[in-house]
Chains A and B, each alone.
Chain A
């Protein structure tokens, strides 16, 4: 009982129910006004017709009386009374005694009145006692005689009844159909919404694989369900990404942390001279510094990806920034016996962070120096920055072993290092950071084959030429 009450309550509270109710009300009012107007008009038309017929009949009969006297009037009345479908006629004396006509009994006092009115009557040829309704007019003839002419309105009353009944039935029909239809629609909508609620509750409870069912009707509920599903997919992706990152962080931080702990532990147990203790402490500090670096890089990537650095962006010349970093690394390359070729086009204005671009470039050059060596051939790194349509392409290319095509997507992820790179120092964050910097600038980081070697392309949008401000939707 309680459950059905609350189910009813829920039904009543739904939008579909309220809408059905509102439409039902509107249609009922329309039907009421429409049918009422028809009935009233039909009634009025009939009555007018009766009245004018009675009027002309009285006129013609009183003329006959005036020309032919009572005898002529009685003759005509008797004749017309007998005609099929005759109107009602009655001629009486001044006292009300019947002289001619087809009207029998009349309620007392009726014949004494004059003018037009409705009354009950009985025909002379009728045997049953049930009186009918008529509209009549009583005319006072010169000489004291009274003439009553009337018309049976029982028929029109019946017509009126039929109209009113139709009226009632159609109202009932509208209300029932509206209620049933509304109930069905409401129930259907409510069921789908209930299903959606149920599924979302499951998802909230931890079943992240669950998805809303699409009915395939393409209606707004389907669109909503589709959007919710897309949102769930995106959330799932983000959560998997976070899971992966935290797994990686846990793994990559655990390794140096364990090493740090072991070193300290070992020094405590085995070191006997102050010198040994000192060098052990220095080693632990070095390990902590590495940890700090990893943390800083991770934090920076996270902030870049959250878009937190957008406020710090300004206009600057990418050409100069690239030259600066290349110059910074020039000495290091020379020391390592690597030739560093720099070819930078002049004047490449971009909107962004010189600092971050510098850091990204430094990472790319670090990588090129670290991994760009190949056995046999003399090592060479080339750095270039060129205008290409609406963007500037900054390229750092080496002649090393490169990165196999299948691995290129993966190395941009955090902490991913190729097996061949494991033996060298590094954390696997350099390319991730460079990619994050590219995204912050609205650009992208591409890894290509330098045949042989790796070509890293930082494609960043050039600063747009200032155009007069135009509304965005002007094309519409």
Chain B
């Protein structure tokens, strides 16, 4: 995956470039808004990570200009500005996701990976049925089966599983779950999300050999076929 980081703070930028490379991605860096704009327009990037406050051309104007030029690369906005209305402004300008500073890199990585995948699948190509191993989720009939057996889920549990399966094989953080399943953007300080996931897990994985919902330590959750806890 090719990532362009547009960030004027040299230290933060080099930390991000290094961290993304270690995670197996290609990362470029632009130090101001104009350079970033030029690179984003020419280069074939999967995701842009844009700081909101940039010299020469601020982050939101940069995103707006790119969208006007029909550059539809997913954008994640990083902002040192607080909450509430800043997120709305960022998304209105054409950003796809928003992460307030300071953040954990694991959170940023998870979000960037989800964004890059979104690029490949537009709503029309999104399948109506998600399948992982013997688990099936039908988005139209709201039915979930495992090995042909129907599993009854509460509406919220269904949405939770739907989001996890949509992003199968990718790390999904707790804040991402709170955002997409409950539509709240605050930091879930207690383990509210964990409890919901473990309830879902009890319904999906209990009585089956291969667990599908995995906890990724220090990051979040992932739905995939594989051994529990083999990745950190």
Chain A interfacial positions (CB closer than 8 Å to B): 282, 285, 289, 292-293, 295-296, 299-300, 303, 308-309, 311-312, 324-325, 327-329, 331-332, 334-335, 353, 355-356, 358-359, 362, 366, 369
Residues 165-198 of chain B: 1 if any A CB is under 8 Å from the residue's CB, otherwise 0?
0000000000000100011111111111001100
- Please name the residue on chain B nearest to A363 by beta carbon: B189
Q: Is B211 an interface residue (CB 8 A)?
A: no
Interchain nearest-CB distance for B90 vs A (Å): 12
**Known: A328-B182, A332-B195, A356-B84. Is A366-B190 also a contact (CB below 8 A)?**
yes
- Please name the residue on chain B nearest to A296 by beta carbon: B187
**B82, A303: Cβ atoms closer than 8 Å:** yes
**B84, A328: Cβ atoms closer than 8 Å:** no
- B203 neighbours in A (Cβ, 8 Å): none
Complex CA gap A327/B172 in Å reads 21
Complex CA gap A359/B183 in Å reads 12
5 A-B pairs closest in CB distance: A312-B85, A331-B195, A359-B186, A309-B84, A312-B84
Complex CA gap A312/B81 in Å reads 14
* Known pairs A331-B195, A331-B196 / 6 extra A-B pairs, C-beta < 8 Å: A296-B83, A300-B82, A324-B182, A335-B195, A366-B189, A366-B190
Complex CA gap A362/B175 in Å reads 14
**B84, A358: Cβ atoms closer than 8 Å:** no
**A331, B199: Cβ atoms closer than 8 Å:** yes
**A355, B186: Cβ atoms closer than 8 Å:** yes
- Please name the residue on chain B nearest to A361 by beta carbon: B184
**A355, B185: Cβ atoms closer than 8 Å:** yes
- A293 neighbours in B (Cβ, 8 Å): 187, 189
**B189, A289: Cβ atoms closer than 8 Å:** no
**A292, B102: Cβ atoms closer than 8 Å:** yes
**A328, B189: Cβ atoms closer than 8 Å:** no
Q: Is B38 an interface residue (CB 8 A)?
A: no
Complex CA gap A33/B188 in Å reads 87
**A332, B191: Cβ atoms closer than 8 Å:** yes
- A295 neighbours in B (Cβ, 8 Å): 102
Complex CA gap A293/B102 in Å reads 9
- Please name the residue on chain B nearest to A329 by beta carbon: B192
Can you list 8 pairs linking A and B with CB atoms under 8 Å apart? Answer: A293-B187, A295-B102, A303-B84, A311-B85, A312-B88, A328-B196, A362-B186, A362-B189
**Known: A292-B102, A358-B184. Is A369-B84 also a contact (CB below 8 A)?**
no
Interface members, chain B 79-128 (any A CB < 8 Å): 82-85, 88, 100, 102, 104
Q: Is B156 an interface residue (CB 8 A)?
A: yes
- B191 neighbours in A (Cβ, 8 Å): 332
- A292 neighbours in B (Cβ, 8 Å): 102
**Known: A331-B192, A331-B199. Is A359-B184 also a contact (CB below 8 A)?**
yes
- A308 neighbours in B (Cβ, 8 Å): 82, 84-85
Interface size class of B (residues with CB under 8 A): 20 to 34
- A324 neighbours in B (Cβ, 8 Å): 182-184
Complex CA gap A308/B218 in Å reads 33
Complex CA gap A285/B217 in Å reads 13
Complex CA gap A415/B27 in Å reads 41
**Known: A289-B104, A332-B190. Is A327-B156 also a contact (CB below 8 A)?**
yes
- B85 neighbours in A (Cβ, 8 Å): 308-309, 311-312
**B84, A332: Cβ atoms closer than 8 Å:** no
- A282 neighbours in B (Cβ, 8 Å): 218
Interchain nearest-CB distance for B164 vs A (Å): 16
- B88 neighbours in A (Cβ, 8 Å): 312
Of B83, B190, B191, most buried by chain A (CB within 10 Å of CB) is B83
**A355, B192: Cβ atoms closer than 8 Å:** no
Complex CA gap A331/B191 in Å reads 10
- B189 neighbours in A (Cβ, 8 Å): 293, 362, 366
Interchain nearest-CB distance for B101 vs A (Å): 9
Complex CA gap A331/B193 in Å reads 9
Interchain nearest-CB distance for B221 vs A (Å): 15
Of B85, B178, B218, most buried by chain A (CB within 10 Å of CB) is B85
Interchain nearest-CB distance for A437 vs B (Å): 10
**Known: A303-B82, A303-B84. Is A328-B192 also a contact (CB below 8 A)?**
yes
**B195, A353: Cβ atoms closer than 8 Å:** no
- B187 neighbours in A (Cβ, 8 Å): 293, 296
- B184 neighbours in A (Cβ, 8 Å): 324-325, 328, 355, 358-359, 362
Interchain nearest-CB distance for B162 vs A (Å): 17
**A353, B182: Cβ atoms closer than 8 Å:** no
- B185 neighbours in A (Cβ, 8 Å): 355
- A358 neighbours in B (Cβ, 8 Å): 184, 186
- A296 neighbours in B (Cβ, 8 Å): 82-83, 100, 187
**B84, A355: Cβ atoms closer than 8 Å:** yes
**Known: A289-B104, A355-B185. Is A299-B82 also a contact (CB below 8 A)?**
yes
- B188 neighbours in A (Cβ, 8 Å): 362
Complex CA gap A324/B179 in Å reads 13
Complex CA gap A334/B191 in Å reads 13
- Please name the residue on chain B nearest to A288 by beta carbon: B102
**Known: A355-B184, A358-B186, A362-B186. Is A300-B83 also a contact (CB below 8 A)?**
yes
Interchain nearest-CB distance for A359 vs B (Å): 4
- B100 neighbours in A (Cβ, 8 Å): 296
Interchain nearest-CB distance for B178 vs A (Å): 8
- B102 neighbours in A (Cβ, 8 Å): 292, 295
Of A308, A312, A331, A369, most buried by chain B (CB within 10 Å of CB) is A331
- Please name the residue on chain B nearest to A295 by beta carbon: B102
Complex CA gap A331/B177 in Å reads 15
Interface members, chain B 183-230 (any A CB < 8 Å): 183-192, 195-196, 199, 218
- Please name the residue on chain B nearest to A292 by beta carbon: B102
- Please name the residue on chain A nearest to B101 by beta carbon: A292
- Please name the residue on chain B nearest to A304 by beta carbon: B84
Interchain nearest-CB distance for B158 vs A (Å): 13
**B192, A353: Cβ atoms closer than 8 Å:** no
Complex CA gap A335/B187 in Å reads 20
- B156 neighbours in A (Cβ, 8 Å): 327
- A359 neighbours in B (Cβ, 8 Å): 184, 186
Complex CA gap A328/B190 in Å reads 11
- A327 neighbours in B (Cβ, 8 Å): 156
